[in-house]
Amino acid sequence: TERIARMAFEFARANGKNRVECVTKANIVKKTDGRFLDVVHKVGEEYPDIRVEDWYIDIMTANLINEDLQRDFQVFVLPNLYGDIITDEAAQIQGGMGTAGSANIGSQYAMFEAVHGSAPDIAGKDLANPIATVLSAAMMLRYTFDLDKEADAVEEAVRKVLAEGYRTGDIMSEGCTLVGCSKMGDLLAERI
């Protein structure tokens, strides 16, 4: 908990953020979530320029779909279970599960993957949206290899392809061009 809390505060500071939202269910899960909350606040004392705000997971999930509130949140720190809930909801808000990359960063190793996992149920069917995996690769370029310019190029390619109106079936919208996984990958590669 200390490590993940410190990472949240360091991320906030490095990215010009002044708030960290600590999400638990400490009112009910008093021992484990209560301890998590206490540790986050203790670490937060080392970052007087960053405010810690406490939220319960149930109200936070409601607040994230409230357009008047959702843009106010900056950095989240939460136990794994709640993190899984919030990242799926946030992915849906920002475009869909197929567009959200993720990183699991440990003290020695890091793993980068689509927030939804590998989607084996649609493997080989040219249906998957490769954007989440591509954005995860951009995170890896930046975090693991310090290749910021290359990561920027990958992210810009995603923005361009979406701005041009190409969509896979999971994020298809009116007036856009439907493409499969392979074609989306080709379009991204061309823009890079």
Per-10-residue mean pLDDT, the chain, length 192: 96 97 97 98 98 98 94 95 92 90 90 87 91 97 97 98 96 95 97 96
pLDDT tens per residue across span 101-141: 999 888 899 999 998 877 888 888 999 999 999 999 999 99
- For 126: left if phi > 0, alpha if psi spans -120 to 50, otherwise beta; the answer is left
Q: What is the pTM of this model?
A: 0.84
Task: Extract the tokens encoding 94.
Answer: 């920002």
Q: How distant, in Å, are the alpha carbons of 8, 25, 51, 73, 165 from that of 158? A: 26, 36, 33, 24, 11
Task: Extract the tokens encoding 155.
Answer: 């992210």
3-class SS at 14? Answer: helix
3-class SS at 121? Answer: helix
> What interhelical angle do 131-145 and 148-163 show, nearest 10?
160
Nearest alpha-carbon partner for 99 in 138, 42, 142, 125 = 138
3-class SS at 141? Answer: helix
